[in-house]
Chain A
Amino acid sequence: MLEPKHVEGIHNEHKVFLYALSTCGWCRKTKALLQELGIAYDYIDVDEQQGPDRELAKQEVLKWNPSLSFPTMVLDDKESVIGFSEARIRRIVSE
């Protein structure tokens, strides 16, 4: 059972879900920018998952990103943003 972590923010208009690696610099930049902009989000560090959870997390990422790369951000359960995209993250607050 995956247990995403939640980060509070003043912007709750969109559902932001992040699949990340705890060791990755681009994932770290993504988290930092979301936080800086005050965007509420949930995340899973896939590399920190063990056993069946790791496989489950991988399968979830694959649904949004066939190349299984990180960060993979899912917006409102319909759009996936692959890699660190500063412009796309900044647009979240204005939409």
Chain B
Amino acid sequence: MNTVADERVTEVWERLVREAQQSGYIVNTDDAFAKDLVRGLLENEARYGYRACPCRLASGVASEDQDIVCPCDYRDADLDEYGTCYCGLYVSPEVSRGERTGGSIPDRRPVGGVSARGEEMEQVSMKGLAFPVWRCRVCGYLCARPQPPLVCPVCKAGKERFERFM
């Protein structure tokens, strides 16, 4: 273990903290805890080629684990309901201010992952749109353009995390 250099962990942690602030998210203010999670993300990146959630068992197959690449598809719902995401890297303003306790929460991900998630969301049918509308599965950002953006401008999720909305 500890195959990832401390400097690299700190560098990525600083970037995540900054990006979170810019887009209205909060990285856990227990810095040591958050940095350990970032280390886990980087270890998973080295192992699997993507930053799978450090608190979930990745399959090693990118397409099956798309939903648990950090930030995961379940983060925002967990922040709303529990004030923390599943691994605890992100917390709500209430938790960060100490007005609410985060902690270990149940996993919202269906057993079996993406393949068990069922049908794609129902698409709204709109005739005559100049562009298709794409939705970010992570944060819900919508945009009308021929293709989804390479990176979600809000939550930084990759293009593959978008689904056709209209």
Contacts and interface: CB of A to CB of B under 8 A. Distances in A.
Interface of A: 21-28, 46-47, 58, 66-70, 82-85
Given A26-B88, A83-B104, A83-B105, A21 B111 contact: no
B128 interface: no
Interface string B104-134: 1111000100000000000000000000000
Interface of B: 1, 33, 36-37, 39-41, 43-44, 47, 54-58, 87-88, 103-107, 111
Contact of A25 (B43, B44, B55): B55
Given A69-B56, A70-B57, A26 B39 contact: no
Contact of A67 (B54, B88, B104, B107): B107
Given A23-B44, A25-B33, A25-B37, A69 B107 contact: yes
Contacts of A25: 33, 36-37, 40, 54-55, 87-88
A23 B111 contact: no
